[in-house]
């Protein structure tokens, strides 16, 4: 089977969007391939979401097309010559799993000095590590939703809103759902995954806690729900081409300084446990995005937040790269 990815592109800033088949950072219009190679199963698929609606049949047809393509017979375009839109434009639902990387949560605990009184930094770190190990063994994922209006393209500028003074980055592996399901058992969870892509769960740190009524706890709407707060893409890699999503290198830099340099191996709750948990309470739909958590190295750790002129560059092994300029 020949590896490929899928994305949503246009030839100009405001030109019509098309579904592209991606190979080695080159893109060809899927509609052209359908005409050339007679793939009637894909004839009506005008979007990546439409492909995901019938993913089992779409994937089989896409596999055949990928094997048939000839680099000289089709009109290929370099990825960097196209406008790259959100790969699923737009998802139906977005779920996020918070506090899901062990070292990330331990660092946040130590940085905030939250824990039993009297502990020095080393003792506080040991206490936090033990707490995370216990949570992974006996606890459950912590999930919330994010508005689809936050979604932007992988190379779109990130407009920093005037509502926050602490905009922060959170590179995450995103799971793209390819089949509707409710109360999905853990052992079947992988069957509901179409593929994987990159997201950056931009967060306004100063807007997370509710200070007017502390019993309300966290406010995810204002802290994570603002426009442009979820760059998605550049493309979707089908799960067949990601042998182990729990062994992927992740790296994010801000204006040339590496901030996050970790692996998806540090997840507390793996992907199947997240799908099991989220689908216990919500029906998953084709095209839904699950953001699986962010590793250590956020702005809270460095006491350094995004500002106009910053350039965010992010990558996950095998899934491409993102680049946003903050304005």
pLDDT at res. 111:
84
pLDDT at res. 243:
96
**What average pLDDT does this structure show over 76-96?**
97
The single-letter DSSP state of residue 59 is H
> Quick one: residue 16, left, alpha or beta (phi over 0 = left, psi -120 to 50 = alpha)?
beta
CA dihedral 152, 154, 157, 161 (to 10 degrees): 50
Compute φ and ψ for 271, nearest 5 degrees.
-65, -40
Could you tell me which residues come within 8 angstroms of residue 283 by beta carbon, excluding any fewer than 6 positions away? Answer: 180, 181, 182
User: Can you give the pTM of this predicted structure?
Assistant: 0.96
Tell me the pLDDT tens digit for each residue of 90-147.
999 999 999 999 999 898 888 888 888 888 888 889 988 898 899 999 999 999 999 9
Q: Is 101 in contact with 90 (CB distance < 8 Å)?
A: no
* DSSP-derived pairing of the beta strands 94-98 and 289-291: parallel
Tell me how long the chain is. Answer: 327
pLDDT at res. 203:
98
Which class is 94-100+141-325 in CATH? alpha beta
- Tell whether the model's pLDDT for residue 2 goes beyond 90: yes
pLDDT at res. 235:
98
pLDDT at res. 294:
98
| Domain coordinates in residue numbering, the chain | 5-85, 94-100+141-325
Average pLDDT taken over every residue of the chain: 95
Rounded percentage of the chain residues whose pLDDT exceeds 90: 87
Tell me the pLDDT tens digit for each residue of 20-59.
999 999 999 999 999 999 888 898 889 999 999 999 999 9
Q: Which of 31-45, 154-168, 202-216, 234-248 has the lowest mean pLDDT?
A: 31-45
| Residue whose C-alpha is closest to residue 210's, from 192, 222, 202 | 222
């Amino acid at each position: 089977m020949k590896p490929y990815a899928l994305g949503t592109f246009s030839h100009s800033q405001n030109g019509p969007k098309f579904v592209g088949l991606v190979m080695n950072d080159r893109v060809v219009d899927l509609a052209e391939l359908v005409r050339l190679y007679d793939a009637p199963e894909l004839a009506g698929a005008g979007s990546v979401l439409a492909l995901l609606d019938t993913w089992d049949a779409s994937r089989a047809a896409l596999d055949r097309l990928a094997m048939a393509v000839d680099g000289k017979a089709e009109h290929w375009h370099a990825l960097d010559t196209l406008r790259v839109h959100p790969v699923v434009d737009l998802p139906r639902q977005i779920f996020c799993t918070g506090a899901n990387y062990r070292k990330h949560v331990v660092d946040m605990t130590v940085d905030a000095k939250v824990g039993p009184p009297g502990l020095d930094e080393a003792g506080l770190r040991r206490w936090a590590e033990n707490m995370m190990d216990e949570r992974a063994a006996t606890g459950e994922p912590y999930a919330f939703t994010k508005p689809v209006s936050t979604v932007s393209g992988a190379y779109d500028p990130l407009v920093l809103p005037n509502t926050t003074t602490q905009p922060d980055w959170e590179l995450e592996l995103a799971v793209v759902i390819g089949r509707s399901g409710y109360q999905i058992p853990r052992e079947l969870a992988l069957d509901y995954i179409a593929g994987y892509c990159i997201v950056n769960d931009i967060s306004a740190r100063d807007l997370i806690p509710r200070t007017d009524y502390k019993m309300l706890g966290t406010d995810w709407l204002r802290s994570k729900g603002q426009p442009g707060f979820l760059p998605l893409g550049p493309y979707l890699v089908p799960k067949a081409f990601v042998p182990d999503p729990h062994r992927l290198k992740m790296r994010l830099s801000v204006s040339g300084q590496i901030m996050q340099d970790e692996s998806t191996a540090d997840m507390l709750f793996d992907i199947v446990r997240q799908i099991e948990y989220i689908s216990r309470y919500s029906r998953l739909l084709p095209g839904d995005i699950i953001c699986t958590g962010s590793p250590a190295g956020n702005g809270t750790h460095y006491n350094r937040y995004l500002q106009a002129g910053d350039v965010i560059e992010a990558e996950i092994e095998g899934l491409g790269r993102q680049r946003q300029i903050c304005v």
